[in-house]
């Protein structure tokens, strides 16, 4: 399963050169080198949404930033723990929650992006749906003329980055269908399923494609193009894509019936409700309110420090959910800092910790961040590059600083609420800016050790991650580690002991 061969992009040295600008990072690598190993059971599909494509229910909506349910099963098999309470503080579309629930775990998810919240809740609703009724409604929908039901009251309120996303006639079909659902479908549960199907096909029927930091626009959209002209191929008509998605949902329900009693999602509830709880909002605000030693296992994948802006890539879905331009901007700031537009949250976090009587914890976390030498080495170099104009965006240094600062708070809180003997498993990628490799895996693992956790494994994939297109020309194709970290809590955690 796990190769004995260690894999790292860092130089394989036993005694780092103290005069090297990478000295602190090399020193940190030597510290964790015995924990780093290639895990041949892991591949890119497993640690991304790709492995969900053939899994019933999870393939309905393509949430690209999530990992697969197969990975969750692998990780739970690895630790061999009895079913208890599993937390995903960045739950996305709910892969960890659904996979663990099937195995009898109670699950708790936290997600700030309404897209993930909606997708998770809608999937639970669908799995409680009467298949006979759904089949009958699909038959009626196949015969309906959606243009006959067009109602301007249901028109999408586009924001700047989504205007012109759909062919005009297809958007009228879409709006007519939404009006049809609200006016003709009395069964609220069925209506929710029918509207979720539209949510799942927004990208497919649009001129756009999600592309990391932004939406890529098809040349047929009439919007200005970048250096490379983009043509996404066949764009299915609304009716074709809709009926195909509804039939996919119905087929999965036919072939894989679910136990309705397992699924109950009527809104935010205390964490003692069986099976699943889902909280909408930032885990930075929610984790400090949880009890010590209350979680058995954490499986998660936080946003990466890679400039990807989910409020842009999921802009169509946010508009469909009724979010305004200003609300989208607020979401961007509320999310874990991973874009060049995110502003410093230090003052807000300090105020929050003081308010809940945890000023001492704030000082511990803040000091741990300041004293992480490899991170400060990177930040110093990035600040210098910014002053020299070597960064392709002057806010990259701020992005990296904010990302690790906030992740330091997340890891502290996870260590606090994890039960003794509990395990945290986290998927993340290393990144590189201006040629400087940032060992996210090592820095976060060092935070974890500072807060009383044991680093059991830093599993890497056989194949790492290449440079971004912006850096390929200057720095080649050298790979960065793609990792799954496994941290364990051996002894009872107390803030005052730090």
Confidence of residue 440 (pLDDT cuts 50, 70, 90): very high
pLDDT in tens, 29-73: 999 999 999 999 998 888 877 666 667 677 899 888 888 899 999
Rounded to an integer, the average pLDDT of 277-287 is 96
pLDDT at 275: 63
Under 8 Å CB-to-CB from 202, ≥6 apart: which residues?
316, 317, 320
pLDDT in tens, 355-394: 999 999 999 999 999 999 999 999 999 999 999 999 999 9
Rounded to an integer, the average pLDDT of 455-479 is 66
| Token representation of residue 106 | 């109670």
3-class DSSP assignment, residue 441 = helix
The mean predicted confidence, pLDDT, of the chain is 88
Q: In this model, does residue 269 exceed pLDDT 80? A: no
Under 8 Å CB-to-CB from 199, ≥6 apart: which residues?
61, 118, 119, 122, 317, 320, 321
Q: In this model, does residue 206 exceed pLDDT 80? A: yes
Q: Tell me the percentage of the chain whose pLDDT exceeds 70.
A: 87
| Token representation of residue 211 | 């592309």
Rounded to an integer, the average pLDDT of 82-87 is 94
pLDDT at 475: 43
Q: In this model, does residue 470 exceed pLDDT 80? A: no
Question: What are the Cα distances from residue 286, in Å, to 3, 79, 156, 349?
Answer: 38, 26, 32, 12
pLDDT at 51: 60
Place of tokens 């539209």: 198
Q: How far apart are CA 383 and CA 109, in angstroms?
A: 36
3-class DSSP assignment, residue 248 = helix
Q: Tell me the percentage of the chain whose pLDDT exceeds 90.
A: 75
What stretches of 298-395 show up as alpha helix (H) in DSSP? 310-313, 315-320, 325-334, 346-355, 359-370, 373-387
Residue 164 CB burial class (10 angstroms; 0-12, 13-18, ≥19): middle
Element holding 433 (H helix, E strand)? strand 431-433
Rounded to an integer, the average pLDDT of 18-34 is 94
Rounded to an integer, the average pLDDT of 276-305 is 96
Q: In this model, does residue 5 exceed pLDDT 70? A: no
Q: In this model, does residue 227 exceed pLDDT 90? A: no
pLDDT at 251: 92
pLDDT at 4: 39
Whether the CB-CB separation of 465 and 429 falls below 8 Å is answered with yes
Rounded to an integer, the average pLDDT of 77-103 is 94
Is the Cα torsion angle 453, 457, 460, 461 positive or negative in sign? negative
What is the CATH number assigned to the segment(s) 23-113+266-313+324-468+476-497?
A: 3.40.50.150
Domain spans of the chain?
Answer: 23-113+266-313+324-468+476-497, 129-255
| Token representation of residue 358 | 């945890």
Q: How far apart are CA 324 and CA 306, in angstroms?
A: 25
Rounded to an integer, the average pLDDT of 74-87 is 94
Under 8 Å CB-to-CB from 373, ≥6 apart: which residues?
24, 27, 28
pLDDT in tens, 328-362: 999 999 999 999 999 999 999 999 999 999 999 99
pLDDT at 56: 67
pLDDT at 258: 55
């Amino acid at each position: 399963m796990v190769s004995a061969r260690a894999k790292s992009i860092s130089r394989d040295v036993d005694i780092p050169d103290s005069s090297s600008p990478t000295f602190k990072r090399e020193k940190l690598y030597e510290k964790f080198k015995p924990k780093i190993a290639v895990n041949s059971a892991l591949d890119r599909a497993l640690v991304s949404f790709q492995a969900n494509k053939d899994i019933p229910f999870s393939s309905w909506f393509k949430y690209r930033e999530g990992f697969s349910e197969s990975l969750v099963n692998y990780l739970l098999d690895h630790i061999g723990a009895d079913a208890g309470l599993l937390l995903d503080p960045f739950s996305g579309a709910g892969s960890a929650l659904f996979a663990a629930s099937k195995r009898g775990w109670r699950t708790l998810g936290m997600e700030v992006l309404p897209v993930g919240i909606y997708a998770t809740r809608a999937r639970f609703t669908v799995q409680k749906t009467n298949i006979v009724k759904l089949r009958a409604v699909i038959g009626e929908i196949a015969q309906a003329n959606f243009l006959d039901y067009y109602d301007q009251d249901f028109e999408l309120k586009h924001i700047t980055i989504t205007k012109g996303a759909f062919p005009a006639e297809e958007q009228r079909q879409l709006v007519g269908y939404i009006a049809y659902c609200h006016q003709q479908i009395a069964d609220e549960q069925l209506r929710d399923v029918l509207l979720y199907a539209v949510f799942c096909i927004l990208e497919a029927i649009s001129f756009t494609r999600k592309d990391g930091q932004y939406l890529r626009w098809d040349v047929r959209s009439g919007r200005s193009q970048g250096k490379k002209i983009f043509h996404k191929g066949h764009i299915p008509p609304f009716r074709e894509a809709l009926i195909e998605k509804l039939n996919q949902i119905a087929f999965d329900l036919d072939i894989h019936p679910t136990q309705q009693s397992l699924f109950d999602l009527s809104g935010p509830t205390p964490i003692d409700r069986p099976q699943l709880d889902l909280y909408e909002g930032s885990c930075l605000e929610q984790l400090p309110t949880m009890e010590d030693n209350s979680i058995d296992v954490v499986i998660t994948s936080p946003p990466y420090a890679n400039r990807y802006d989910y409020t842009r890539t999921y802009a169509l879905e946010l508009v469909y959910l009724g979010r305004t331009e200003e609300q989208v901007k607020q979401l961007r700031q509320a999310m874990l800092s991973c874009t060049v537009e995110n502003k410093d949250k230090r003052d807000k976090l300090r105020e929050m910790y003081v308010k809940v009587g945890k000023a001492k914890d704030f000082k511990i976390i803040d000091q741990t961040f300041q004293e992480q030498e490899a991170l400060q080495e990177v930040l110093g170099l990035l600040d210098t590059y910014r002053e020299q104009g070597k960064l392709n965006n002057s806010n990259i240094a701020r992005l990296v600083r904010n990302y690790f600062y906030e992740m330091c708070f997340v890891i502290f809180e996870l260590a606090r609420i994890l039960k003794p003997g509990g395990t945290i498993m986290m998927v993340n990628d290393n990144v590189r800016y201006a040629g400087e490799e940032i060992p996210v895996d090592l820095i976060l693992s060092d935070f974890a050790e500072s807060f009383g956790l044991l680093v059991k494994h830093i599993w890497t994939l056989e194949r790492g991650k290449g440079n971004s297109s912006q850096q390929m020309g200057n720095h080649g194709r050298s790979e960065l580690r793609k990792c799954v970290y496994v941290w364990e809590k051996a002894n009872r955690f107390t803030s005052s002991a730090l």
